[in-house]
Chain A
């Protein structure tokens, strides 16, 4: 199960909407071993593409060095699909290389009209483990604020 704060969840959705029709991508780092995503890092999609994403290699190194210095790890690796469902593509599965991370997929396909205008439709938000080519979907729990009971959702629609 992925447990994520409302604030970070909403920021990922906003990033995906902002970069539509290109795929948006980034990570949420967290303390090593905590399984808690705490620090959102929006990355530039070096591919600038509606069908592909890739972190710039120099920015990727800077990101990992920063995480190592802070004893963090990538808890969430996210990207958007802009025309298809929020499910890992064959390419996503083939290139997934952080077996400990939650792979979050968001889909903006229903939140824009054909002319590319934002219609405030839902953005699908789903999470997966991808290990050795095997995909396992998991529940997403969005926590509104520390100390309150989480409201479980598997496919939030905001």
Chain B
């Protein structure tokens, strides 16, 4: 199983500068575990207390995962995952 994950500029320090990496997982939580195993430190930038960080957006095939089950969002071979930090402030 191979899922392409697009990595935003600010997290490319964890992927050796790569814009996209492949990872495995039956759902988003498993995918993040796999990312963390191969790119230590990246998990903490995505998760906060076992939940997706408020200002990190993750999309599966263009759908914001918050609308399709969050960390339980199901993944299949060939899915495209995009990680984008929110553009926000005060």
Contacts and interface: CB of A to CB of B under 8 A. Distances in A.
Interface in B49-71: 55, 57, 59, 62, 64, 66
Interface residues of A, number: 27
Given A97-B10, A99-B9, A61 B90 contact: no
Contact of B84 (A60, A95, A96): A60
Contact of B90 (A43, A51, A55, A99): A51
A64 B87 CA distance: 11
A64 B85 CA distance: 11
Interface of A: 25, 27, 43, 47, 51-55, 57-58, 60-61, 64, 77, 79, 88-92, 95-100
19 contacts: A25-B87, A53-B88, A54-B87, A57-B66, A60-B57, A60-B84, A61-B84, A79-B89, A88-B89, A89-B90, A90-B90, A91-B90, A92-B90, A95-B86, A95-B89, A97-B9, A98-B9, A98-B10, A99-B10
Interface of B: 8-10, 55, 57, 59, 62, 64, 66, 82, 84-90
